[in-house]
């Protein structure tokens, strides 16, 4: 059974671009490497040929995985999202109730998560803890070193 994943237009384009690169650039390179190794003689003792075949196998697995992700991808219609609670694509401003530190995160699909740009996965502990919360709610989030409490200050798109 396949798992449906939700993506922004940007995230889905990035996924498709990677898939096209693997198919159009990397796959022909792998075939060339196998052909070159095959031309070098006896295949039973040719480590270069074995390595090229193994690399091709790994590439084909990666292509198959990306094809499945693209096939099961669903584009999120941002105009239809509810801003009253934290959902996928919500930008949530929160305050750590213990330290007073303010943080802003955008909740995204797992494959689009990038902490440096403030995008966290809805499957991460913080992401899970924020889902469904509303402005003014306190989200108690279980993290590896205990429980953290965050007050939801704002939710935007």
Domains of the chain: 5-75 (1.10.287.180), 78-156 (3.10.50.30)
Between CA 91 and CA 152 the distance in angstroms is: 11
The confidence band for 2, taking pLDDT boundaries of 50, 70 and 90, is low
Look-up of token digits 């996924």: 15
Read off the pLDDT of residues 97-156 as tens digits, 9 standing for 90 and up: 989 999 999 988 887 888 898 999 888 888 888 988 889 899 998 888 888 899 999 988
> Is the pLDDT at 79 greater than 80, yes or no?
no
Residue 82: its pLDDT value, please?
A: 63
User: Contacts for 119-128 with beta carbons within 8 Å, 24 or more apart?
Assistant: 122/88, 126/150
Look-up of token digits 């590896």: 144
The answer for 110, left when phi > 0, alpha when psi is -120 to 50, beta otherwise, is alpha
Q: What is the pTM of this model?
A: 0.61
Helix extents (H) in the chain = 9-21, 27-38, 47-71, 125-130
Query: 60 vs 73, which has greater pLDDT?
Result: 60
């Amino acid at each position: 059974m396949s798992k449906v994943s939700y993506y922004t237009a940007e995230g889905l384009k990035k996924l498709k671009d990677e898939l096209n690169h693997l198919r159009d650039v990397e796959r022909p390179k792998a075939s060339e490497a196998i052909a070159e190794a095959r031309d070098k003689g006896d295949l039973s003792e040719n480590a270069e040929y074995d390595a090229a075949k193994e690399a091709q196998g790994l590439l084909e697995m990666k292509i198959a995985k990306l094809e499945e992700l693209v096939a099961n991808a669903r584009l999120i219609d941002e105009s239809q999202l509810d801003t009253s609670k934290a959902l996928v694509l919500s930008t949530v401003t929160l305050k750590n109730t213990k330290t007073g530190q303010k943080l802003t995160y955008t909740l995204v699909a797992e494959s689009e998560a990038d902490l440096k740009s403030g995008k966290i996965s809805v499957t991460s502990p913080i992401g899970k803890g924020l889902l469904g919360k509303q402005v003014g709610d306190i989200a108690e989030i279980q993290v590896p070193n205990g429980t953290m409490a965050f007050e939801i200050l704002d939710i935007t798109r």
